[in-house]
């Protein structure tokens, strides 16, 4: 038992050493893609907000677009009321009205740059070709 102090001390050191790479890489790994939010439409917004809170959009924009598709195509809905009671026109165009930047190449556009970075290939663009954020 008299050795337990030293054992605990060396365990602490081992754990500290093992976690060094983690601290060293903090903020370096998972570097985000160069997302460009600086579009003419967003510059004009008094309050820089997406349709729903940013974190939610980052994680759930695909579900929102699928919901919009179902509502538009199956129920003929044209309007989406967000969690703050604000109204938006249902359509992929609505996203691009804010997120498309005519000054950028197609590969640098908001949607495309992030999808390329994450190797996501939405199946939507075969039918919505000009709506992939590359051109408008
Ligand atoms: C097989 C072809 C096809 C594919 C693939 C497709 N769509 Fe559509 N989508 C349509 C058609 C046709 C309409 C109706 C167009 C209209 O009413 O103007 C539509 C309408 C929509 C609408 C509402 C209208 C608008 O202007 O945006 C949304 C939102 C939508 N689709 C989202 C998606 C999403 C998201 C995907 C991929 C997950 C997708 N679609 C894939 C054919 C397709
Ligand atoms: C009224 C303008 C506007 C519309 C319409 C809009 N956005 Fe946004 N969006 C923004 C702004 C501004 C931000 C950044 C908010 C911030 O800085 O927190 C943003 C952020 C985002 C983000 C998070 C980006 C990041 O930093 O990770 C995603 C994803 C996104 N939008 C997708 C969409 C999609 C998909 C649509 C259509 C369904 C859409 N947006 C419609 C203005 C808009
Ligand atoms: C911050 C990065 C980021 C931005 C910006 C972004 N996306 Fe995405 N998107 C993703 C990721 C990651 C996925 C895949 C998520 C998954 O598979 O669960 C995805 C998936 C999708 C899908 C579903 C694809 C499928 O086949 O099911 C659609 C549709 C989509 N995004 C549309 C858009 C549109 C339109 C914009 C621009 C207005 C946009 N995204 C901007 C990261 C982003």
Provide the pLDDT for residue 126.
83
d(CA 78, CA 85): 15
Provide the pLDDT for residue 90.
97
Is the beta carbon of 35 within 6 A of some atom in ligand 3?
yes
Provide the pLDDT for residue 106.
84
Gap from CA of 57 to ligand 2 centroid (Å): 7
- Over its length of 136 residues, how does the chain's per-residue pLDDT go in tens digits? 567 777 767 766 666 666 655 555 554 445 567 788 999 999 999 999 999 999 999 999 999 999 999 999 999 999 999 999 999 999 999 999 999 998 988 888 899 899 999 999 888 888 886 555 555 4
| Burial environment of residue 110 by CB neighbours within 10 A (0 to 12, 13 to 18, 19 or more) | buried
Gap from CA of 24 to ligand 2 centroid (Å): 31
């Amino acid at each position: 038992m008299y050795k337990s102090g030293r054992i605990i001390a060396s365990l602490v050191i081992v754990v500290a050493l093992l976690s060094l790479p983690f601290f060293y890489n903090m903020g370096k790994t998972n570097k985000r893609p160069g997302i460009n939010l600086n579009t003419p439409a967003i510059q004009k917004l008094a309050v820089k907000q997406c349709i729903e809170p940013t974190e939610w959009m980052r994680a759930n924009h695909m579900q929102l677009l699928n919901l919009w598709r179902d509502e538009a195509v199956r129920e003929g809905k044209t309007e989406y009321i967000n969690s703050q009671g604000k109204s938006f026109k249902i359509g992929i165009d609505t996203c691009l009205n804010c997120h498309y930047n005519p000054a950028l190449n197609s590969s640098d556009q908001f949607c495309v740059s992030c999808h390329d970075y994450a190797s996501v290939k939405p199946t939507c663009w075969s039918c919505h070709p000009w709506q992939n954020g590359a051109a408008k």
